[in-house]
Amino acid sequence: MNIEGDPKLTAYILDELDRDEVSSLEEQLSKSEESDILIRGVMEEASMIRDAYDMEPAHRMTPQQRADILKDSEIVAVTETSTDKILSFTDGLKCLDKKKVETEENNIWKKYFPIIVSFSAAALVIGMAVVLLKNDRIGTDPKSKIAQKPLDPLSVTILDSNTANENGRDKLSWIQRQIGVGPVKFPVTYRYGKPKPLNEISDSLVFLDGESFRNPAMEGQRWSVFPSNVSSKSYDILREFMLAGDVPDGKNVHIGSLINAFEYNYEYPNSGEKFAVNAEVANCPWDQERWLIHIGVRAADINKNKGKDILLVREVRMAVEFNPDRVAGYRLIGEDYTKKFDVNNSPNQIVLDGQTVTALYEIVPMEGTDFSESLTRNANSELVSVRIDYTDPENKDSRSLISSISHKSAVAWEEASEDMRFATSVAGYGLLLGGHEKGSSATYDLVLQLAKDALGEDKNGQRSEFIDWIKKTKNLEERR
């Protein structure tokens, strides 16, 4: 077979073949010595063509045209916990009294029409970004919709019954033991243009206050993969030390593990979708020059096989692409950023139904994208996008889901959700424990206040328990 002359090879490289075709083609390719060179060549060409198209101006409609489209389609939403409040998105999440709205049912559009029309394009984009983040559906590639076939999920048998408990926290630690590790195959594409080639390794990092951050403009640094399942072991270590009246060494406590030990109230995906991405951006409470990006992923819940954990998807890769035009540097809180990381060799991870994954990034925004200016400048720019690649265990389909986070969605940390403020508190606590925040204004008092103000419902008392640990740690550290 002349593979070079076969449109199937091009389709294969562009990820357009179905699974059967892929396996039959891969078999043929394995017999061909020059296929690697060929594939690499076409991939490079494809990437160049994308880049070439990217050079065209990003044409848009006028703000007035956009406003005209949106003016008749205001979204009205009801919060799930507080049904007597109605939120009007285009009005910048202004709370309205539901009763009042009901009595004026038919007048609501007329009533708010002048407000809507008077909005600047900026306000509309904020509304849009809020909807985007809350619903997690903007930015989702239609391809990533799951197959129409009803799921018949694989059930996973818990091998070590001692580690399984009702709050589901520990199920993550056994996953790590039971599931092997292997590379996830996916094409690396760049949403924000190709990164610059790396001449010296030092180019890949930027420095602020003596701390280093990855530079997304450079090759190999654009993408950051975050783990899709993390054990809560660090929290158990912390609890043991606390109960014994001691403070654990920062080296024994992994901040990512600590953050993921807590339950968060992330939105569930819409029916038929596997994941919902809840993302927020706020400035960092202990360093005004930095922002925090809080990414909360919720996997779909399957109401079958009660009592058993269901393998929802496998070969999962959750990753963030940073826009180098907006982000000068970033780091995943808790990540050892001196380690080189290869997007192609991230562990083969699985996700169980209903599971949540939390990742917190510290970023150094580009100069000129001051927090205070974020609501007026660079109107339509994305800060980052989150991409989740996975394989459906039922039909073996590979899917990916992309959500983008607008630069404009940034808020002051005081206005962030309870989930984000709580995760921030845990991160700050972990950094203090590890002695990483000596130069900043992070203190146990600050993280304590953050956690106290972000208790939420705290159904199982987890967050309250953590508040006790912060107080205890503070007292113990002061006595040292």
Does 267 bind other proteins (CB under 8 A)? Our answer is yes
First to last CA, the chain: 74
- Both tokens of 166, joined, read 């009702």
Strand partners for 301 = none
CA 394 – CA 153 distance, rounded (Å): 7
Does 138 bind other proteins (CB under 8 A)? Our answer is yes
Yes or no: say if 297 and 279 are a contact pair by the CB < 8 Å rule.
no
Does 471 bind other proteins (CB under 8 A)? Our answer is no
- Could you give phi then psi for residue 69, rounded to 5 degrees? -65, -40
3-class DSSP state for residue 73? coil
Choosing from 1, 37, 49, 412, the residue that interacts with other proteins (CB under 8 A) is: 49
Q: Which stretch binds other proteins (CB under 8 A): 86-94, 159-167, 219-227, 468-476?
A: 86-94
- Could you give phi then psi for residue 344, rounded to 5 degrees? -80, -15
Query: Which lies closer to other proteins via its Cβ, residue 116 or residue 242?
Result: 116
Does 16 bind other proteins (CB under 8 A)? Our answer is yes
Choosing from 19, 100, 111, 145, the residue that interacts with other proteins (CB under 8 A) is: 145
- Find tokens 């094409």 and name the residue: 187
Q: Which residues contact 261 (CB under 8 A, 6 or more apart)?
A: 169, 232, 234, 235, 462
Does 131 bind other proteins (CB under 8 A)? Our answer is yes
Query: Which lies closer to other proteins via its Cβ, residue 203 or residue 267?
Result: 267
Query: Which lies closer to other proteins via its Cβ, residue 418 or residue 465?
Result: 418
Does 46 bind other proteins (CB under 8 A)? Our answer is yes
Choosing from 143, 177, 185, 396, the residue that interacts with other proteins (CB under 8 A) is: 143
Does 37 bind other proteins (CB under 8 A)? Our answer is no
Residue 354-393 contact track with other proteins, rule CB under 8 A, x = bound: ----------------------------------------
Q: Which stretch binds other proteins (CB under 8 A): 62-70, 96-104, 250-258, 438-446?
A: 62-70
CA 56 – CA 33 distance, rounded (Å): 38
Query: Which lies closer to other proteins via its Cβ, residue 394 or residue 418?
Result: 418
Indicate the burial class of 362 (C-beta count within 10 angstroms; 0-12, 13-18, 19 or more): buried
CA 271 – CA 173 distance, rounded (Å): 28
Q: Where are the alpha helices (DSSP H) in 149-231?
A: 171-178
Residue 20 gets which letter from DSSP?
A: H
Query: Which lies closer to other proteins via its Cβ, residue 38 or residue 179?
Result: 38
Choosing from 72, 105, 166, 478, the residue that interacts with other proteins (CB under 8 A) is: 72
Query: Which lies closer to other proteins via its Cβ, residue 374 or residue 403?
Result: 403
- Find tokens 């043929």 and name the residue: 28
Q: Which residues contact 477 (CB under 8 A, 6 or more apart)?
A: 247, 444
Going from the C-alpha of 470 to that of each of 335, 336, 453, 473, 474, the distances in angstroms are 22, 24, 14, 5, 6
Choosing from 114, 142, 197, 245, the residue that interacts with other proteins (CB under 8 A) is: 142
Phi-psi region of 264 (alpha: psi -120 to 50; beta: other; left: phi over 0): beta
Length in residues, the chain: 480
Element spanning 466, H or E: helix 462-479
| Axis crossing angle, helix 418-433 with helix 444-452, rounded to the nearest 10 | 160
Query: Which lies closer to other proteins via its Cβ, residue 331 or residue 407?
Result: 407
Query: Which lies closer to other proteins via its Cβ, residue 71 or residue 377?
Result: 71
Does 73 bind other proteins (CB under 8 A)? Our answer is yes
- Footprint of other proteins on residues 397-426 (CB under 8 A)? 404, 417-419
Query: Which lies closer to other proteins via its Cβ, residue 49 or residue 154?
Result: 49
Does 87 bind other proteins (CB under 8 A)? Our answer is yes
Choosing from 137, 308, 452, 471, the residue that interacts with other proteins (CB under 8 A) is: 137
CA 321 – CA 401 distance, rounded (Å): 13
Q: CA nearest 185: which of 362, 8, 343?
A: 343
Does 128 bind other proteins (CB under 8 A)? Our answer is yes
Choosing from 134, 233, 407, 474, the residue that interacts with other proteins (CB under 8 A) is: 134
- Both tokens of 23, joined, read 């396996």
Choosing from 37, 69, 201, 243, the residue that interacts with other proteins (CB under 8 A) is: 69
Choosing from 26, 34, 36, 51, the residue that interacts with other proteins (CB under 8 A) is: 51
Does 66 bind other proteins (CB under 8 A)? Our answer is yes
Could you tell me the smallest distance in angstroms from the CB atom of residue 194 to other proteins? Answer: 10
Q: CA nearest 108: which of 92, 125, 96, 124?
A: 96
Number of residues this chain uses to bind other proteins (CB under 8 A): 68
Choosing from 27, 30, 31, 53, the residue that interacts with other proteins (CB under 8 A) is: 53
Residue 298 gets which letter from DSSP?
A: E
Choosing from 2, 62, 161, 271, the residue that interacts with other proteins (CB under 8 A) is: 62
Does 7 bind other proteins (CB under 8 A)? Our answer is yes
Residues in contact with other proteins by the rule CB under 8 A:
5-11, 14, 16, 41-42, 45-46, 48-56, 58-62, 65-66, 68-70, 72-82, 87, 89, 93, 128, 131-132, 134-135, 137-143, 145, 265, 267, 278, 404, 417-419, 456-457
